Chains A and B, each alone.
Chain A
Amino acid sequence: MTSSGLVVQGQPISDPDGGVKQIVNDFSIQIATVNGSGSQSANNVLLRSIFRMGVPVSSKNLFPSNIAGLPTWYTIRVSRYGWVARKADIDVLIAMNPETAREDVLSLAPGAAVIYDEPFKLNEIRSDLTYYPVPFDRLAAATGADAKVRKLVKNMVYVGVAAHLLSIDMEWVEKTVRKQFAKKVKAAELNLNAVHAGFDYAVSTLTKQDPYVIEHMNATDGKVIIDGNAAAAMGAMFAGVTVVTWYPITPSSSVVEQLIDFMKKYRIEQDGKSNFAIVQAEDELAAIGMVLGAGWAGARSMTATSGPGISLMAEFAGYGYYAEIPGVIFDIQRTGPSTGLPTRTSQADLTFIAGLSHGDTKHVMLIPGTVKECFEFGIEAFDLAEQLQTPIFVLSDLDLGMNSWMSEPFDYPEKPITRGKVLSAQQLEEVGGFARYKDVDGDAIPYRTLPGTDHPAASYFTRGSGHNEKALYTERPDDYENNMLRLARKFETARTLVPKPILEGTGRQRVGIIAFGTSHWAVLESRDQLERESQLPTDYLRIRAYPFTSEIHDFVATHERVYVVEQNRDSQMFNLLKIDLDPTQVTKLHSVRHFNGLPIDARTVTDAIAAQEGAE
């Protein structure tokens, strides 16, 4: 150990003239802490300070299904190129968890830097790393924080250390801390003291030996950082949602928790009354039951859940489809089957939801890939639910929902709220009544009335058993067949209304890639890698909804080979496409899967496609 306390056992990466070669704005930082230690604020300050320096960032929070005491990792990817998918290699480690510190160090990329809690004595594990020991406890104690908050303050100390070592602008760190603790002046001061304690210690004691630095850019001007669940909640609020029901489940709980905050702030009327109702239901069966009851009675209603909740909702989902009742269900996917890995991400609810419930059932799914789409589809879902008179499922996932993402600010919805085919008493008088399930307009979407419509012809009987056009009970084979065929035609109408896919590339390459949801970000980066490393240019189509629109058929038809990238074991999107495509096109499809619970990374996609293409 040197007198400065800096341990350098590895070889720093050097440039030809002998100095340390800098790696600017292109590396990853991992903070290894213990669940429940309050590191989230500190990690957020680090992320946002870099973001405010104009440098593109993304973060992944890897946390256990546990309240406190188990290991948790927060990874910040800094990318001057704007890549925001998970990067498997870690370049800078902040080791705060004694239980995992050794393993964390062993997993690092060569040349990585390790900021660690001095008593861990990690400096002898590997010789190809740069080590920065820091006496966190001593520095936290010096802030004057009492024993209870010292644990939290300790996290802010590493922000200060990292700020010095990585050249993060302290002015932005300070502004970020003040914004984060806007309403808590005392807490802001205490945290700032801690940041400075770490920073001053690093300035006076640590000598920069690793290559990783942050420099100002202007690539984040005007952008926001938000998580997908907050964006979905905003979407629901701007969609004019009035009835919200839920049963807590990770990773969907924060959709409704954030929605409650938004609604209490922005949807209370002048007399102090709420123009909405939010109910924590007794279980998921009740949550979707309330959604359907409210949707039937005319409210814009929603719930949010995850895979296990979706399983419980199956019966009512089929009811909603068959009795034609609007409602919105946000599914923030996590791994399964069963409880699976409750706090890990996946895209494995696709085929289950597509036909959720018994009998011939078909559901419409919207699949956002960005936080902005979480907002936009959060609005669109309600319009579609009422237009199509059916439950609409919005399939986000843990990665999109619970992680912070950079985004362009969201656009105010210009399109007015669409209530679909609802007949008023006056309209009933004019047309002389109606048949609830009659296809009047040729789009297979019938007309409905809302309970309370003051006209003797307004009422109808809603049931999950066989019904004819007039909503009367029937077991007649022709009535059943006609109704089911109309529902199938309605699904074809849905095909023309759902969000279209987005094409990237020239559209003239031999190889195409199809992806959806959060796999998008890895594919973006992978296409760049394939072109640079394997001279393999690709076209890319990002699916955003089910049923599939005609553009998807065209894309497959115009490419020789199409790779379907997804985060599940059973190639679920691949299989849905196989059912939908012309059989002659099916052999063009190839699957690229990733399903270990971690968000997919570009290298996985690149290596899989390069291998199947026989590229170097």
Chain B
Amino acid sequence: MSTTPVTPRPKTNRIGLQVLDYRGGKTTLCAGCGHNVISERITEAFFEMGIQPERVMKMSGIGCSSKSPAYFMSRSFSFNSVHGRMPSVATGALLANKTMKSIGISGDGDTASIGMGQFVHLLRRNVPMIYIIEDNGVYGLTKGQFSATADIGSKLKTGVVNDLPAIDTCALAIQMGATFVGRSFSGDKKQLSAILKAAIAHQGTVMLDVISPCVTFNDHEGSTKSYKYMQEHEESVGEIGFVPHFEEIEVEYDPNTTVNVQLHDGSSLRLRKLHEDYDPTDKIHATKMLMETHAKGEVLTGVFYIDTQKPDFTSLLNMVDEPLATLPQERTRPSREVLAEIMEAHS
């Protein structure tokens, strides 16, 4: 009896693609940079959700974080824009083609300082995209200055102490109108993966702040964005599970300990409560919780707020179903009669 060696078939997703089809270019970020781990999680999430890479627009601003889109999903379309102004570019791109999935990668400098104006308006409009802040509290590309998310009292490598309070991008996002707001840690694989997959299923602005330690400029004693600090001070608002719409949903037996949130594509985001009275649909409570944990020196992670009912920006504009980008002339150039009518009105 002869045996034929069996080559294991590479794992494919529901649209028949392999994880290799979601790979990006070789990273040029520092070894150990949290951003690279986030890129891996994004790659996995899009693979596991079975999203066609060509249907994805990767948007970014300027900075180490904004280089990230080069390191995942090379078959997707990428726009590395100008410092802090990625939200407007992403908005325009989605207006042109609302059938695309959009993921924006920004940094704490890119978002919370130069980009603050556009950031809040993106949230306010509920532009349907995933907006990730790879948050390390410093400007990496200009070699280590404080960003506006650096905590008061935290120290630079050079010993300089930050004397200004941090902007909490999550609290801001909840207040400004984002419909899916969370924070995670690049080192928390399970949580980040679940949140990313849920983010892909959500229709509206997903604002996700991911603490991503800068190994070169902000991973020392006195930093509040270091691996060590995060390991010691991270507290999760809940355990997160994600059930894609194409998988069978199991019944959760104990209704007192979980919250199931039905997402736009039929998927479920399952939040297991650690805090007894946590309600992820309550803006005020979510904001209060963020402030309280911050005051205690803890970094709260998890999905803080979710609203699946608020219409996203493209729905609000009542646009036709097809992409505006490819509408034929017959639909976009009015007739001779229209020109004659306008001319008559001005005669």
Whole-angstrom CA separation of A38 from B269 in the bound complex: 58
- With most chain B CB atoms within 10 A of its CB, the pick from A286, A413, A450 is A286
Whole-angstrom CA separation of A488 from B94 in the bound complex: 31
Q: B6 within 8 Å of A by Cβ?
A: no
Residues of chain A contacted by B89 (CB below 8 angstroms): 289-290, 292-293, 296
Q: Among the listed stretches B78-86, B284-292, B301-309, which one makes contact with chain A, having 4 or more residues with CB under 8 Å of it?
A: B78-86
Residues of chain A contacted by B332 (CB below 8 angstroms): 240-242, 267, 275-276, 300, 417
Residues of chain A contacted by B100 (CB below 8 angstroms): 297, 451-452
Q: A243 within 8 Å of B by Cβ?
A: yes
Q: Can you spell out 18 A-B residue pairs with CB atoms less than 8 angstroms apart?
A: A242-B332, A243-B95, A274-B318, A281-B121, A282-B117, A282-B118, A286-B88, A286-B91, A289-B87, A290-B95, A293-B93, A294-B96, A296-B89, A417-B332, A417-B333, A455-B54, A456-B54, A464-B82
How many residues of A are counted as interface, with CB atoms below 8 angstroms from the partner's CB atoms? 73
Residues of chain B contacted by A226 (CB below 8 angstroms): 346
Which one of A243, A266, A285, A452 lies within 8 Å of B92 (CB-CB)? A243
Query: Which chain B residues numbered 1 to 37 have a C-beta less than 8 Å away from chain A?
Result: 21
Whole-angstrom CA separation of A409 from B342 in the bound complex: 10
Q: A473 within 8 Å of B by Cβ?
A: yes
Q: From A293, which residue of chain B is reached at the shortest CB distance?
A: B92
- With most chain A CB atoms within 10 A of its CB, the pick from B96, B97, B118, B336 is B96
Q: B295 within 8 Å of A by Cβ?
A: no
> Taking beta carbons and an 8 Å cutoff, which residues of A are in contact with B?
222-226, 230, 234, 237-243, 245, 262, 266-267, 269, 271-277, 279, 281-283, 285-301, 315-316, 319, 409-410, 412-413, 416-417, 449-456, 458-465, 473
How does the 8 Å CB contact mask read for B227-259 relative to A, with 1 for contact and 0 for none? 000000000000000000000000000000000
Which one of A234, A269, A279, A461 lies within 8 Å of B320 (CB-CB)? A269
Whole-angstrom CA separation of A272 from B321 in the bound complex: 12
Contact status B117-A277, CB under 8 Å: no
From known contacts A237-B334, A274-B318, infer whether A242 and B327 are also in contact, taking CB-CB under 8 Å. Answer: yes
How does the 8 Å CB contact mask read for B117-141 relative to A, with 1 for contact and 0 for none? 1100100000000000000000000
From known contacts A224-B347, A243-B324, infer whether A274 and B99 are also in contact, taking CB-CB under 8 Å. Answer: no
Contact status B91-A293, CB under 8 Å: yes
Residues of chain A contacted by B326 (CB below 8 angstroms): 298, 450
- Nearest first, the 6 A-B pairs at minimum CB distance are A293-B92, A289-B88, A298-B325, A240-B332, A290-B92, A299-B96
Q: B272 within 8 Å of A by Cβ?
A: no
> Taking beta carbons and an 8 Å cutoff, which residues of B are in contact with A?
21, 52-55, 57, 59, 69-70, 74-82, 85, 87-97, 99-100, 117-118, 121, 314, 317-321, 323-327, 329, 331-334, 336, 338-339, 342-343, 346-347
Whole-angstrom CA separation of A266 from B335 in the bound complex: 9
Contact status A274-B320, CB under 8 Å: yes
Contact status B97-A240, CB under 8 Å: no
Residues of chain B contacted by A287 (CB below 8 angstroms): 88
Given A293-B93, A297-B93, A454-B54, output 15 extra A-B contacts at Cβ < 8 Å. Answer: A237-B334, A238-B339, A243-B96, A245-B92, A275-B319, A277-B324, A282-B118, A282-B121, A290-B95, A293-B94, A316-B85, A459-B77, A460-B77, A461-B69, A463-B80
Cβ of A201 to closest chain B Cβ, rounded Å: 31
From known contacts A262-B342, A275-B331, infer whether A286 and B75 are also in contact, taking CB-CB under 8 Å. Answer: no
Q: From B53, which residue of chain A is reached at the shortest CB distance?
A: A459
Residues of chain A contacted by B118 (CB below 8 angstroms): 282, 285-286, 289
Contact status B96-A242, CB under 8 Å: yes
Whole-angstrom CA separation of A62 from B116 in the bound complex: 39
Contact status B117-A289, CB under 8 Å: no
Residues of chain A contacted by B59 (CB below 8 angstroms): 293
Contact status A273-B92, CB under 8 Å: no
Q: From A315, which residue of chain B is reached at the shortest CB distance?
A: B82
Cβ of A437 to closest chain B Cβ, rounded Å: 15
Contact status B317-A277, CB under 8 Å: yes
Contact status B80-A461, CB under 8 Å: yes
Contact status A234-B97, CB under 8 Å: no
Residues of chain A contacted by B321 (CB below 8 angstroms): 273
Whole-angstrom CA separation of A42 from B75 in the bound complex: 61
Contact status B325-A297, CB under 8 Å: yes
Cβ of A230 to closest chain B Cβ, rounded Å: 8
- With most chain A CB atoms within 10 A of its CB, the pick from B117, B323, B333 is B333
Contact status A234-B342, CB under 8 Å: yes
Cβ of B165 to closest chain A Cβ, rounded Å: 24
Contact status A413-B325, CB under 8 Å: no
Cβ of A196 to closest chain B Cβ, rounded Å: 25
Contact status A293-B79, CB under 8 Å: yes
Whole-angstrom CA separation of A291 from B80 in the bound complex: 15
Q: From B314, which residue of chain A is reached at the shortest CB distance?
A: A277
Cβ of A271 to closest chain B Cβ, rounded Å: 8
Contact status A299-B117, CB under 8 Å: no
Q: From B320, which residue of chain A is reached at the shortest CB distance?
A: A273
From known contacts A276-B324, A289-B89, A453-B54, infer whether A298 and B80 are also in contact, taking CB-CB under 8 Å. Answer: no
Contact status A462-B80, CB under 8 Å: yes
Residues of chain A contacted by B314 (CB below 8 angstroms): 277
From known contacts A262-B342, A276-B324, A316-B82, infer whether A459 and B75 are also in contact, taking CB-CB under 8 Å. Answer: yes
From known contacts A301-B96, A451-B57, infer whether A242 and B81 are also in contact, taking CB-CB under 8 Å. Answer: no
Q: From B80, which residue of chain A is reached at the shortest CB distance?
A: A463
- With most chain B CB atoms within 10 A of its CB, the pick from A285, A299, A409, A458 is A299
Q: From A464, which residue of chain B is reached at the shortest CB distance?
A: B82
Contact status A299-B77, CB under 8 Å: no
Cβ of A195 to closest chain B Cβ, rounded Å: 21
Q: From A323, which residue of chain B is reached at the shortest CB distance?
A: B79
Contact status B55-A452, CB under 8 Å: yes
Residues of chain A contacted by B339 (CB below 8 angstroms): 234, 238, 410, 412
Contact status A240-B333, CB under 8 Å: yes
Whole-angstrom CA separation of A242 from B314 in the bound complex: 13
Cβ of B328 to closest chain A Cβ, rounded Å: 9
Residues of chain B contacted by A454 (CB below 8 angstroms): 52, 54
Whole-angstrom CA separation of A282 from B84 in the bound complex: 14
Cβ of A172 to closest chain B Cβ, rounded Å: 13
Whole-angstrom CA separation of A395 from B297 in the bound complex: 56
Residues of chain B contacted by A241 (CB below 8 angstroms): 332
Cβ of A28 to closest chain B Cβ, rounded Å: 23
Whole-angstrom CA separation of A473 from B97 in the bound complex: 26
Cβ of A410 to closest chain B Cβ, rounded Å: 7
Contact status A285-B329, CB under 8 Å: no
Residues of chain B contacted by A271 (CB below 8 angstroms): 320
Residues of chain A contacted by B319 (CB below 8 angstroms): 273-277
Whole-angstrom CA separation of A2 from B21 in the bound complex: 96
Contact status A296-B79, CB under 8 Å: yes
Contact status B320-A292, CB under 8 Å: no
Residues of chain A contacted by B79 (CB below 8 angstroms): 293, 296, 462
Contact status B80-A465, CB under 8 Å: yes
Contact status B74-A459, CB under 8 Å: yes
Whole-angstrom CA separation of A450 from B93 in the bound complex: 10
Whole-angstrom CA separation of A237 from B336 in the bound complex: 13
From known contacts A275-B324, A319-B81, infer whether A297 and B57 are also in contact, taking CB-CB under 8 Å. Answer: yes
Whole-angstrom CA separation of A470 from B276 in the bound complex: 54
Contact status B95-A294, CB under 8 Å: yes
Whole-angstrom CA separation of A528 from B117 in the bound complex: 54
Cβ of A481 to closest chain B Cβ, rounded Å: 22
Whole-angstrom CA separation of A117 from B85 in the bound complex: 55
Q: From B341, which residue of chain A is reached at the shortest CB distance?
A: A266
Contact status B77-A293, CB under 8 Å: no
Whole-angstrom CA separation of A225 from B326 in the bound complex: 35
Contact status A290-B91, CB under 8 Å: yes
Cβ of A293 to closest chain B Cβ, rounded Å: 3
Contact status A289-B81, CB under 8 Å: yes
Whole-angstrom CA separation of A487 from B95 in the bound complex: 28
Whole-angstrom CA separation of A145 from B273 in the bound complex: 68
Which one of A242, A272, A291 lies within 8 Å of B318 (CB-CB)? A272
Q: From B326, which residue of chain A is reached at the shortest CB distance?
A: A298
Contact status B90-A293, CB under 8 Å: yes
From known contacts A298-B323, A462-B80, infer whether A452 and B318 are also in contact, taking CB-CB under 8 Å. Answer: no
Residues of chain A contacted by B69 (CB below 8 angstroms): 461
